[in-house]
Amino acid sequence: AQTVTQSQPEMSVQEAETVTLSCTYDTSESDYYLFWYKQPPSRQMILVIRQEAYKQQNATENRFSVNFQKAAKSFSLKISDSQLGDAAMYFCAYRGGGADGLTFGKGTHLIIQP
């Protein structure tokens, strides 16, 4: 079974600075997809960014970018110019090519210091 590990239960960053959230995963599949979801205090699950495993180019969405290292099975999220609204739980998620449901990590609680 696939597993997703987020080793940082909590991270803190000053407003306007850059922070990187770590995620590693374990799989024997070659075809899969990776996602970062954000869950603010409202409890909504909001898709932040996604990456197809077959693409070598790292995905970018405005201030959010990923560092995808397939051989190392690492998928970190970088948030640039952190804003107060970025404060939330961030979940890394894996989805295999067989199109099952998402496997989530335990999450990282991101705190933004004003």
Partner 1 sequence: DSGVTQTPKHLITATGQRVTLRCSPRSGDLSVYWYQQSLDQGLQFLIQYYNGEERAKGNILERFSAQQFPDLHSELNLSSLELGDSALYFCASSETSLYQPQHFGDGTRLSIL
**Binding footprint of partner 1 on the chain (CB under 8 A):** 33, 35, 37, 42-47, 50, 52, 91, 98-107
Q: What are phi and psi of 64, to 5 degrees?
A: -105, 135
Q: How far is the CB of 75 from partner 1 (least distance, A)?
A: 15
Would you call 46 exposed, middle or buried from its count of C-beta atoms within 10 A (0-12, 13-18, 19+)? Answer: exposed
Q: How far is the CB of 60 from partner 1 (least distance, A)?
A: 16
CB closer to partner 1 out of 98 and 114: 98
Cβ atoms of 41 and 110 within 8 Å: the answer is no
CB closer to partner 1 out of 10 and 17: 10
CB closer to partner 1 out of 36 and 82: 36
Q: At 94, list the tokens.
A: 């894996």
